[in-house]
Amino acid sequence: MASGERVRVAVYRREVAASLERVLENVRDWEHLPWLHRSSFAGIERLDAGSWGWRARVAMQPAGVELIVEVRIDPDGSRYVTRTVEGPGAGTEIWTDLELRAASRTGIRVEFRVPDVAPQHAADLGAAYVRLYTRLWDEDESMMVERQARLAERPRRSGADPEPLDLGPLDSVRARLPLRVAWGGRSYRVVDVDGELRAHATVCPHWLGPLDAASVEADGSVRCPWHGYRFDVRTGRSCDGRALRLDRAPRVCVDPETSRVRLDRASPSPSEERGRGPAGLPG
Ligand code: FES
Ligand SMILES: [Fe+2]
């Protein structure tokens, strides 16, 4: 008969190249599970969240098995416990201790405590947890490192756009699509949407996720790989109704006489146009 007694099936230790601040931000970020960790999680629905942590219904890959999971974070940020509240493995607790080792190094110790495990299955179950957590922390670490780098380098917007940039003959530009270009110290990508060339910013306005490898859908949208938010590359607007927008991108112009392609200043948006007012005075 099940006693509910938990058995420690494995302990996993590692260090990640991220600050404690980034790690705790990541722990609170329930939303990335089915996107950043898409090979492990199929979906998530938040049920509750607060300064204490979060609770969510989580669908696992590959079968879509659902669990209710709760993450509780110690107030001093040195430990959090992930509990399976309902579903297969209910009662499992995963205790994670965090240790600040340097400005961008955090030590991690994870202990897996599973109820009612037969002794002969404990080692295999422990190994499976360690494999899963190695993959999850690899994916988290790459996101945290990239986010930290973007936060550090985030360019300040200068008032003026840079000079137009010649990209070459239309045929050769089309042959290189999607084309990454740097303009004015920022990175853009030129893509074809419905036969028209468009440039879009390659940094997601949510958490600075990478949009430079996102496929462009038939409706002109790209999806960020970190949390799945979608943006229309023609307008920069959120396709999910969020108050987020891609940074303004240059216009892609094709000279009708020479067929050369250039990046040029974007037309001001209607609100910028309105704000300009007569003789350059605020409207
Ligand atoms: S960084 Fe969160 S959706 Fe892009
Ligand atoms: Fe994660």
Three-state helix/strand/coil letters over 85-135: EECCCCCCEEEEEEEEEECCEEEEEEEEEEECCCHHHHHHHHHHHHHHHHH
Of all ligands present, the nearest one to the C-alpha of 146 is 1
Query: Each residue of 131-157: pLDDT tens digit?
Result: 999 999 999 999 999 999 999 987 655
Query: Each residue of 1-44: pLDDT tens digit?
Result: 467 799 999 999 999 999 999 999 999 999 999 999 999 999 99
Average pLDDT, the chain: 91
Please name each of the domains of the chain with its CATH number: 6-151 (3.30.530.20), 166-268 (2.102.10.10)
Of all ligands present, the nearest one to the C-alpha of 140 is 2
Checking if the pLDDT of 283 tops 70, the result is no
Strands, DSSP E only, in the chain?
A: 6-16, 41-50, 53-60, 66-73, 79-86, 93-102, 105-115, 165-169, 179-183, 186-193, 196-201, 221-223, 230-232, 251-254, 260-264
Residue 23 near residue 106 (C-beta atoms within 8 A): yes
Residue 283 near residue 276 (C-beta atoms within 8 A): yes
Mutate-to-test residue for ligand 1 from 145, 147, 151, 206, highest number of ligand atoms within 8 A of CB: 206
From the CA of 198, how far away is ligand 1's center (Å)? Answer: 21
Checking if the pLDDT of 161 tops 80, the result is no
Averaged pLDDT for residues 166-175: 97
pLDDT of residue 154: 74
Comparing 62 with 69, the larger pLDDT belongs to 69
Q: Is the CB of 224 under 6 A from ligand 1?
A: yes
Q: How many CA atoms lie within 13 A of 39 on its CB side?
A: 7
Of 8, 274, 12, whose CA–CA distance to 130 is shortest? 12
Q: Is the CB of 133 under 6 A from ligand 1?
A: no
Query: Each residue of 86-104: pLDDT tens digit?
Result: 999 999 999 999 999 999 9
pLDDT of residue 4: 79
Query: Each residue of 218-269: pLDDT tens digit?
Result: 999 999 999 999 999 999 999 999 999 999 999 999 999 999 999 998 765 5
Mutate-to-test residue for ligand 1 from 226, 230, 245, highest number of ligand atoms within 8 A of CB: 226
From the CA of 137, how far away is ligand 2's center (Å)? Answer: 7
pLDDT of residue 261: 97
From the CA of 140, how far away is ligand 1's center (Å)? Answer: 13
Checking if the pLDDT of 272 tops 90, the result is no
From the CA of 163, how far away is ligand 2's center (Å)? Answer: 41
Averaged pLDDT for residues 53-70: 95
pLDDT of residue 155: 62
Question: Are β-strands 53-60 and 179-183 bridged in parallel, bridged antiparallel, or unpaired?
Answer: unpaired
Of 252, 116, 89, whose CA–CA distance to 183 is shortest? 252
pLDDT of residue 68: 98
Cα(193)–Cα(271) distance, rounded to whole angstroms? 25
Checking if the pLDDT of 71 tops 70, the result is yes
pLDDT band at 105 (very low <50, low <70, confident <90, very high): very high
pLDDT band at 274 (very low <50, low <70, confident <90, very high): very low
Q: Which atom of ligand 1 is nearest to the CA of 229?
A: 3
Mutate-to-test residue for ligand 1 from 207, 238, 245, highest number of ligand atoms within 8 A of CB: 207
pLDDT of residue 64: 83
Checking if the pLDDT of 280 tops 50, the result is no
Interacting residues of 240 by C-beta distance below 8 A, sequence separation 6+: 229, 230
pLDDT of residue 159: 61
Checking if the pLDDT of 203 tops 90, the result is yes
From the CA of 263, how far away is ligand 2's center (Å)? Answer: 37
User: Which residues have CB atoms below 5 A from the ion given as ligand 2?
Assistant: 140
Query: Each residue of 108-135: pLDDT tens digit?
Result: 999 999 999 999 999 999 999 999 999 9
Q: What is the percent of the chain where pLDDT is above 90?
A: 86
Q: Which atom of ligand 1 is nearest to the CA of 32?
A: 2
User: In which region does residue 236 sit, left (phi positive, over 0), alpha (psi from -120 to 50) or beta (all else)?
Assistant: left
Q: Is the CB of 204 under 6 A from ligand 1?
A: yes
Q: Is the CB of 231 under 6 A from ligand 1?
A: no
Residue 189 per-residue DSSP state: E
Q: Is the CB of 227 under 6 A from ligand 1?
A: yes
pLDDT of residue 162: 87
User: In which region does residue 208 sit, left (phi positive, over 0), alpha (psi from -120 to 50) or beta (all else)?
Assistant: left
Q: Which atom of ligand 1 is nearest to the CA of 228?
A: 3
